[in-house]
Chains A and B, each alone.
Chain A
Amino acid sequence: MTPVLVYPWTMDERGPTDKTLHRDWDADAASVARFQAGDEEAFEALVRSREKEVYRTALRILGDPEDAMEAAQETFIRVFRSLKGFRNDASFKTWITGICINVCRTMLSSSAGRMKRRSTGLIKESRADGDDLDPGIPDRAPDPSSSALGSELNAALAKALMILSPEHREVIVLRDIQDLDYDEVGEILDCPAGTVKSRLSRAREALRLALEGIWP
Chain B
Amino acid sequence: MAMTCDDIQAMLDREGGLTTGEARDHVHECPACQDAWARWQAVQRELRAMGEEETPPFLHTRLMAHVQSAAHAEQGKSAWLFGLKRIWAGPLFVLFLGILLGGFGLLQMLKPKFSAPPAPLSQRQAISKAKAGPVEPSKDEARTSAKAPGFPPSELASPAAPPEARREPAGLAAPPAVSEESKAREAPSLFAPAPAQETAGQEPYRPLSNRPAAASPEGGAEAAPDPGAPSRAARAEMAAPQSEDQAPAEVVCTLSPLSGPGPFISLQLPSEASPPSGGIWTIILSPGGALRVQDVQGKAVTAPERILQEIIHPLHIPPGSYRLKRIS
Contact = CB atoms under 8 A, between A and B. Distances in A.
Interface stretch (A26-34, A84-92, A183-191, A203-211): A203-211
A157 B55 CA distance: 18
A interface majority secondary structure: helix
Given A10-B17, A11-B16, A14-B48, A76 B67 contact: yes
Contact of B67 (A9, A10, A77, A208): A77
**Residue from A4, A5, A9 with most neighbouring chain B CB atoms (10 Å):** A9
Contacts of A69: 56, 59, 62
Contact of B63 (A14, A76, A158): A76
Contacts, number: 121
Contacts of B66: 73, 76-77
Interface string B5-19: 000011011111111
Given A6-B41, A9-B24, A14-B48, A80 B67 contact: yes
A149 B54 CA distance: 9
Contacts of A5: 27-28, 34, 37
Contacts of B59: 51-52, 55, 69, 72
A154 B50 contact: yes
Contact of A153 (B12, B13, B42, B54): B42
B interface majority secondary structure: helix
Contact of B55 (A14, A56, A60, A151): A56
Given A69-B62, A77-B66, A201-B14, A4 B34 contact: yes
Interface string A3-43: 11110111110100000000000000000000000001001
Interface of A: 1, 3-6, 8-12, 14, 40, 43-44, 47-48, 51-53, 55-56, 59-60, 65, 69, 72-73, 76-77, 80-81, 147-149, 151, 153-154, 157-158, 172, 176-179, 197, 201-202, 204-205, 207-208, 211
A151 B24 contact: no
